[in-house]
DNA sequence: GTCTATAACTTGATAGAC
DNA sequence: GTCTATCAAGTTATAGAC
């Protein structure tokens, strides 16, 4: 631990920030090292290759996502509202930021990133289903969140998040009766 | 027109396919030219720089999106269901594929791509609102579509699209009464 | 309109000093 | 643990032949 661990974390932070802000073409070893305040040699001591850096980020995101599922289940507002609210990426939200970074890797075809997404998506959905009691409804809620989150990934912040959350909550609260 | 126009289109097709399949790091001039079956020199005759290639793709997507808004308004199943169904990217769907390609550019911070998205998103939403009659509901429907589409961008095809579409349609059909 | 050759620069990675 | 060379490969772009 101590400073070794700290530098590793700083490097992963810099990597994810660069991925989110400017895409993977901009997230070079040079740029990551500079943003973390170390030299390229320093970076390569902690992560022996760019692939190892990707591994480190995906693994960190898996841990964060697991923690988030637990927080979601305990959220007073309910798992659905919690998911929707945390789908809008705030500047200083490490989970959502890291998630967008991993999304970039998944979109490039990185199999580890795609697998991490598939796993986390199912865990989140199951937590929502526990609240709303229906599989398809849990999917719809999650997809609304994913839509918000996709917008965040290009820097478009919704100006009507509260309306959307209460709109969805209202739809859930008064389920349609069978015909 | 004739072969000049055809080569331009082939180059834009190759560019968007590479962006979608492997990300912008893989969409090099070399790779685009090879995929289109011309040399790099041939590419650079039609598009004088990589920036011009991006311009060409974004402009083409704007035209495709405009056409799609018209089709959406005329769709027998309704604008909402049309939007949801076409949000799942099929292999041979040029609009959705080009959209994911432009998404990649927007995520990298390309201002033209972000602006094209902002404009198209508002046009699509307005068309949905014309059907469902409520602004927030139109947003919710659109966000579900965007969520589906974000999944497609990492190659995750939903196995329950019909359930989701009919689930959303049912929610719309029986709007909650004011308390 | 399309090609090859080449120039100028960037990127990922290694070696070895401190 | 961190740094400064250094290198081979890849990237964008230009020049000029056909």
Q: What is the pLDDT of residues B142-170, one digit of tens each?
A: 999 999 999 999 999 999 999 999 999 99
Task: Name the least confident of A17-26, A170-179, B41-50, B58-67.
Answer: A170-179
* CA–C1' nearest nucleotide, residue A42: D2
**How far apart are the C-alpha atoms of B142 and A29, rounded to whole Å?**
38
CA–C1' span, B54 to D17, in Å?
29
pLDDT at B174: 61
For chain B, list the strands marked E by DSSP: none
pLDDT of residue B145: 98
Between CA B54 and C1' C5 the distance (Å) reads 26
Checking if the pLDDT of B55 tops 80, the result is: yes
Closest chain B residue to A162, measured at CA: B136
Give the residue on A whose Cα is nearest the Cα of B162. A136
> Element (H or E) spanning B154, and its range?
none
Question: Hey, are the CB atoms on B25 and A24 less than 8 Å from each other?
Answer: yes
- Are the C-beta atoms of B83 and B124 separated by less than 8 Å? yes
| Average pLDDT over every residue of A145-166 | 95
Q: Is residue A112 packed enough to be buried (19+ CB in 10 Å), middle (13-18) or exposed (0-12)?
A: middle
C-alpha closest to that of B79 among B137, B119, B152 = B137
Q: Pick the residue of B147, B167, B172 with the most A CBs within 10 A to test the interface with A by mutation.
A: B147
- Which of helix, strand or coil describes residue A117? helix
Model confidence band, residue A159 (pLDDT cutoffs 50, 70, 90): very high
Determine the average pLDDT of the residues in A6-29. Answer: 97
Tell if the CB–CB gap between A151 and B146 is shorter than 8 Å: yes
Cβ pair A102, A57 in contact under 8 A: yes
pLDDT tens digits along A75-95: 999 999 999 999 998 878 889
Verify whether the Cβ–Cβ distance A143 to B164 is below 8 Å: yes
How many angstroms separate the CA atoms of B177 and A170, rounded? Answer: 10
How many angstroms separate the CA of B135 from the C1' of C7?
Answer: 56
Q: How far is CA B82 from CA A48, A135, B144, B156, in A?
A: 48, 22, 12, 20
Chain B nearest-CA distance from A2, in A, is 34
Q: In this predicted structure, what is the pLDDT of residue A179?
A: 42
d(CA B137, CA B173): 11
Q: Within 13 Å of residue A121, how many CA atoms lie on the same side as its CB?
A: 23
When the pLDDT of each residue in chain A is averaged and rounded to a whole number, the result is 94
Q: Which residues contact A15 (CB under 8 A, 6 or more apart)?
A: A27, A32, A53, A57, A101
* CA atoms of B170 and A80, how far apart (whole Å): 19
- Give chain A positions within 8 Å (CB) of B139: 158, 160, 163-164, 167
- Give the mean pLDDT of chain B: 94
| Distance in angstroms (rounded) separating the CA atoms of residues B5 and B29 | 19
C-alpha A105/C-alpha B154 separation (Å) is 9
Facing B22 at nearest CB: one of A109, A144, A174: A109
Residue B173, pLDDT score: 81
Q: Look at the block and give the residue holding tokens 């060409």.
A: B56
Instruction: List the B150 CA – C3 C1' distance (angstroms).
Output: 40
Identify the residue whose tokens are 């309704």: B78
């Amino acid at each position: 631990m101590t400073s070794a661990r700290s530098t590793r974390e700083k490097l992963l932070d810099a990597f994810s920030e660069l991925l989110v802000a400017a895409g993977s073409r901009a997230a070079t070893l040079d740029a990551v090292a500079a943003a973390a305040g170390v030299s390229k040699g320093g970076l390569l001591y902690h992560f022996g290759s760019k692939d190892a850096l990707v591994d480190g980020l995906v693994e960190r995101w898996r841990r964060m996502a697991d923690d988030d599922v637990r927080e979601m289940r305990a959220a007073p507002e309910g798992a659905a509202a919690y998911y929707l609210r945390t789908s809008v990426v705030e500047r200083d939200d490490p989970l959502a930021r890291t998630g967008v970074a991993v999304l970039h890797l998944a979109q490039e075809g990185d199999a580890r990133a795609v697998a991490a997404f598939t796993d986390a998506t199912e865990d989140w959905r199951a937590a929502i289903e526990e609240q709303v009691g229906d599989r398809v409804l849990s999917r719809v809620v999650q997809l609304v969140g994913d839509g918000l989150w996709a917008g965040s990934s290009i820097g478009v912040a919704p100006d009507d998040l509260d309306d959307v959350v209460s709109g969805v909550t209202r739809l859930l609260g008064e389920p349609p009766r069978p015909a």
